Structure 1
């Protein structure tokens, strides 16, 4: 219910603001909101040739392409005059994101189809793990801890192994593998959900822990920083780990208090201490490496572990081939069945993702997001917050809505202020310390047709705020 109302609010308010801007004269056209593409120049006016300054008229007429570009302020987009059919069209500024119709197209072609391919492959592997018995063994090993965190899940339930694989993939920065494992976990949790259209306590806890984004190897962030010319692209690793870990603990406490979980359980404390020990151990190892060693380690560890998981699954399936025979199938046929289920899941979640991304597209292109962002930055600056921090806030504000959008702000901030500036580093920490909340809710709850997300959205947004505050303190401490 909360998600539905929020979706309606940003959708309707964006449309109203677009119409108001058109009739108040702040916008010359609203066609870009429907048909424009990201980074396209925006049409701001049309004039007859004799209505523009004489020097621009002369420059246009001398140019073979009948265009003239003014670039007086290098921090803003060029103003371009294009003469065609007796009219001079004036363009200025760049579009923030794809318009409504291009968003519909790109959601299918650039997001859902690749996601369906990932889902098909990893759901095929998951089917092999299920029939071979590996998922049941993993669930049995981890049951003592998971039943304390998820009290409503029966002991040794298959969802435990799926959630473990999801957390592990997130931890290692394996986004392409994390989503299929997570969707499989939600599907398994739905089997024991007493109210099919309402999110269960276990599903909410899993969603919030997943969205808190605990990450050890921020491979993509390191890549962006290296491309932006950072002297030490991996220097944000430790701040990212600390921030995301605090976000994960906050998510666990917020949801745990709501669900009245027993935090004094010995197995729960042991599991948490084991996780902390593993993080500290890996940090100590990475910290003693030189620059080349860090880059080599971070770029290869995640990929190596993913390859090991694939090889392990296939070899185990070969060894346990009798179990496939008993199930009246073969290893290859089981993989195909799992892959087919992954494709079906992709088709199911498409409308949910489309609805959310179209609303976000309207929200950004309407100008509302920019106004809200500027006001928040203004308030922070008047509270004495350093400009280096307020300059990075757009990344934090957009991150819950759109990973691609916040990534664009991240790259822009590093290009504008420098990859090794406080703004560039803080933007990097913002980007890797949490998930895209609204996208995650649309995908995960949409995959199992959950209509009532209960308090999941509120809890996840609180965790996002905690991650932002933590990132600011951690970045100030380190840099």
Structure 2
């Protein structure tokens, strides 16, 4: 209900703002909102050539391409005059994201189709885990811990193994693997959900822990920093880990209080401290490496772990081939069956993702997001918050809405302020330490047709806010 109303609010408010802007002269055309593409120049006016300043008219008439660019800047394009068919079109600035119709197309082509491919492959692997008995063994080993975190989940339930694989994939920065494992976990939890239209306690806890995004190796962030020629691309790794750990702990405590979980449980405390010890131990090891060693280790650990997971699944399946024979199937046929289920899941979640991304596109292109963002930055600046922090806030604000959009702001900040500046480092920590909240809710709850998400959205947004505050504090501590 809350998500539905929020979706309506951002859509309707954006439409009203666009219409008002058109009739007040702030916007000249609505075409870019409907058909434009990200980074395209925005048409702000059209005049007869006699109406433009003389120096512009003279420059256009003498130019071979009948175009004049004022103060051209590849990072922040300024005004461009284009003469065509007796009129001069005036462009200024660039579009923040794809328009409504390109978003519809790109959601299918660039997002859903690749996602379906990932789902098909990893759901095929998960079917092997099920049929070979590996998921059952993993669930039995982890049941003592998970029974404390998810008290409503039956002992040794298969969802435990799926959630474990999802957390592990997130932990290692394997986004392409984390989503299929997570969707399978949601589907498994839905089977034991007594009210199929309402999110269960276990589903809410899983979603909030997943969204907190505890990450050990922020591979993509390190890659972006390396591309921007940072002195030490991996210098934000420890702040990213600390911030994401704070967010995960906050999510667990907030949801745990709501669900009356026993925080004094010995097995729960052992699990948390074991995880903390593993993180600290690995960090000590990484800090002992030189720059080349750190780059080699961080760039290969995630890939190596994924290869090992795939290899271990196949080997275990081969060793327990008799179990496939008992079920009158083969290892390859079981993989194909799982892949087909992944394909069906991808098709099922498409409408949910489409609806959310189109609304976000409209919100950004309408200019309303920019006004809200600038307003918040203005308030913070007058509260004494330093300019390097306010310059980073657009990434933090956009992260819950759009991963691609916040990533673009992150790269832009590193280009403008430098990857080794405080702003350049802080935006990377923002990008790493939170999840695309609205996209995740649309995908995960959409996959199981949950209509009432209860307090999930409010909790996830609160965790996002905690991650932002923690990121600022950690960045100030380190840099």
TM-score bin, normalised by smaller chain: over 0.9
Q: Deviations over 1:175-210 (max 9, x none)?
A: 000000000000000000000011000000000000
Q: Deviations over 1:131-150 (max 9, x none)?
A: 00000000000000000000
Q: Deviations over 1:103-127 (max 9, x none)?
A: 0000000000000000000000000
What does 1:49-68 correspond to in 2, within 5 Å?
Answer: 49-68=49-68
Q: Write the distance in 1 (CA, Å) between the matches of 2:91 and 2:128.
A: 56
Counterpart of 2:399?
Answer: 399
Counterpart of 1:157?
Answer: 157
Counterpart of 1:279?
Answer: 279
Counterpart of 1:462?
Answer: 462
Instruction: Please report the RMSD computed on the Cα atoms of aligned residues, expressed in angstroms.
Output: 0.8
Counterpart of 2:326?
Answer: 326
Structure 2 length as normaliser, TM-score? 0.99
What does 1:6-85 correspond to in 2, within 5 Å?
Answer: 6-71=6-71, 76-85=76-85
Is residue 233 of structure 1 aligned with residue 228 of structure 2?
Answer: no
SS at match of 1:29: coil
Q: Deviations over 1:250-305 (max 9, x none)?
A: 00000000000000001000111110011001111111111111100000000000
Q: CA deviation at 1:75?
A: 7.0
SS at match of 1:214: coil
Q: CA deviation at 1:29?
A: 0.7
Q: Deviations over 1:363-385 (max 9, x none)?
A: 00001110110011011111111
Is residue 118 of structure 1 aligned with residue 118 of structure 2?
Answer: yes
SS at match of 1:97: coil
Counterpart of 2:359?
Answer: 359
Q: Deviations over 1:406-444 (max 9, x none)?
A: 000000000000000000000000000011000000000
What does 1:134-283 correspond to in 2, within 5 Å?
Answer: 134-283=134-283
Give the length in aligned residue pairs: 479
Moved over 6 A (4+): 72-75
Counterpart of 1:301?
Answer: 301
Q: CA deviation at 1:76?
A: 3.6
CA distance 1:4–1:47, change in 2 (3 Å): same
Q: CA deviation at 1:73?
A: 7.4
Q: Write the distance in 2 (CA, Å) between the matches of 1:54 and 1:250.
A: 62
Is residue 418 of structure 1 aligned with residue 418 of structure 2?
Answer: yes
SS at match of 2:143: helix
Counterpart of 2:103?
Answer: 103
CA distance 1:121–1:73, change in 2 (3 Å): closer
Q: Write the distance in 1 (CA, Å) between the matches of 2:318 and 2:244.
A: 38
SS at match of 1:43: strand
Which range moves more in the overlay, 110-119 or 45-54? 45-54
Q: Write the distance in 1 (CA, Å) between the matches of 2:412 and 2:47.
A: 32
SS at match of 2:9: helix
Q: Write the distance in 2 (CA, Å) between the matches of 1:55 and 1:186.
A: 63
Q: CA deviation at 1:78?
A: 2.1
Which range moves more in the overlay, 309-318 or 440-449? 309-318
Counterpart of 1:448?
Answer: 448
Is residue 317 of structure 1 aligned with residue 317 of structure 2?
Answer: yes
CA distance 1:73–1:130, change in 2 (3 Å): closer
Counterpart of 1:434?
Answer: 434
SS at match of 1:19: helix
SS at match of 1:82: strand
Q: Deviations over 1:317-371 (max 9, x none)?
A: 1111110010110001000000000000000000000000000000000011101
Structure 1 regions of 5+ residues with no counterpart? none
Q: Write the distance in 1 (CA, Å) between the matches of 2:149 and 2:73.
A: 55
CA distance 1:19–1:278, change in 2 (3 Å): same
SS at match of 1:262: coil
Is residue 341 of structure 1 aligned with residue 319 of structure 2?
Answer: no
Q: Write the distance in 1 (CA, Å) between the matches of 2:442 and 2:470.
A: 26
Is residue 89 of structure 1 aligned with residue 89 of structure 2?
Answer: yes
SS at match of 1:440: helix
Q: CA deviation at 1:54?
A: 1.4
Q: Write the distance in 2 (CA, Å) between the matches of 1:201 and 1:260.
A: 11
SS at match of 1:38: coil
CA distance 1:307–1:74, change in 2 (3 Å): closer
CA distance 1:73–1:104, change in 2 (3 Å): closer
Q: Write the distance in 2 (CA, Å) between the matches of 1:286 and 1:380.
A: 36
